């Protein structure tokens, strides 16, 4: 057991609490097969690619871009306060796929392998000299089409579902 008697390490809770359930609801058959079982077995760790320096907690103001490139997408931008990015296998990434769409439209969710070339993780060291938060930079990071969760430009809807799962999750009693 870990923090507050939770049955899993905090770093695994992101997948269990809301990434897995959102994939079960909106993911492709391949994503369900690849990730859901691995999340349940605590074999993979996800970090959240939501917050950005200029957007803060206003997720509708996300500027990280995902542009179609060949058989996938090219990701460019920066995320901040990304918990566990330094030990995550995958990033649950919110990115803008249509820059001309209104603020809460034109966003998409992606599952991004953190070993993808073009991704740089920098620690944000706290006053105690340790860290769990990071800055994550995406510089021409090419990801396959199969990384897209659900349909392009419906990421806001999927994000609201994921956040509802997160907010409704209750830990098992110790």
Sequential DSSP letters for 20-69 = HHHHHHHS-HHHIIIIIHHHHTT---EEEE--BTTTBT-GGG---EEEEE
Residues with a catalytic annotation lie at 166
Report d(CA 114, CA 87) in Å as an integer.
Answer: 9
Report d(CA 21, CA 32) in Å as an integer.
Answer: 10
Chain length of the chain: 174
């Amino acid at each position: 057991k870990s923090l507050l008697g939770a049955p899993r390490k905090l770093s695994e809770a992101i997948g269990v609490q809301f990434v897995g359930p959102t994939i079960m609801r909106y993911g492709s058959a391949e994503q369900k097969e690849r990730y859901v079982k691995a999340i349940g077995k605590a074999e993979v760790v996800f970090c959240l690619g939501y917050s950005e320096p200029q957007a803060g907690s206003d997720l509708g103001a996300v500027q990280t871009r995902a542009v179609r490139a060949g058989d996938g997408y090219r990701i460019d931008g920066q995320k901040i306060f990304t918990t566990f990015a330094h030990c995550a296998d995958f990033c649950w990434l919110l990115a803008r796929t249509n820059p001309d769409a209104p603020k809460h439209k034109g966003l998409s969710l992606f599952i991004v392998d953190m070993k993808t070339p073009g991704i740089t993780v920098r620690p944000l060291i706290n006053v105690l000299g340790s860290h769990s938060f990071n800055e994550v930079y995406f510089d021409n990071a090419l990801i396959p089409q199969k990384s897209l969760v659900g349909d392009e430009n419906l990421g806001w809807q999927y994000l609201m579902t994921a956040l509802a799962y997160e907010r409704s999750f209750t830990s098992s009693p110790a």
